[in-house]
Amino acid sequence: MSLPSLTLAYWCVLVAVALPYAAAYIGKIGSFRWRDNQSPREWAGRQNGWRARAMSAQANSFEGLPFFIGAVIIAHQLGAAQAQLDLLAAAYVLLRIAYIALYIKGIGTARSAVWALAFLVNIAIVFAGR
pLDDT value of position 40: 74
pLDDT tens for each residue of 50-107: 988 999 999 999 999 999 999 999 999 999 999 999 999 999 999 999 999 999 999 9
Cβ-contact 114, 102 below 8 angstroms: yes
Q: What is the CATH number of the domain that holds 26?
A: 1.20.120.550
pLDDT value of position 126: 95
- The pTM assigned to this predicted structure is 0.92
| Total Cβ atoms within 10 A of residue 82 | 14
Average pLDDT, the chain: 92
Residue percentage of the chain with pLDDT more than 70? 95
Q: Which of 91, 97, 98 is nearest to 120 (CA)?
A: 91
Cβ-contact 12, 90 below 8 angstroms: yes
pLDDT value of position 96: 98
Q: Decide if 16 is inside a domain.
A: yes
Q: Decide if 63 is inside a domain.
A: yes
- Residue 76: its H or E element: helix 49-77
Q: Decide if 1 is inside a domain.
A: no
What's the rounded Cα separation, in Å, for the pair 6 and 12? 10
Q: Decide if 117 is inside a domain.
A: yes
Q: Tell me which residue range forms the domain holding 14.
A: 8-126
Q: Decide if 29 is inside a domain.
A: yes
Tally of domains in the chain? 1
Q: Decide if 98 is inside a domain.
A: yes
**How many degrees, rounded to 5, is the angle at CA 67 between CA 129 and CA 39?**
160
Instruction: Please give the average per-residue pLDDT across 10-17, as a whole number.
Output: 97
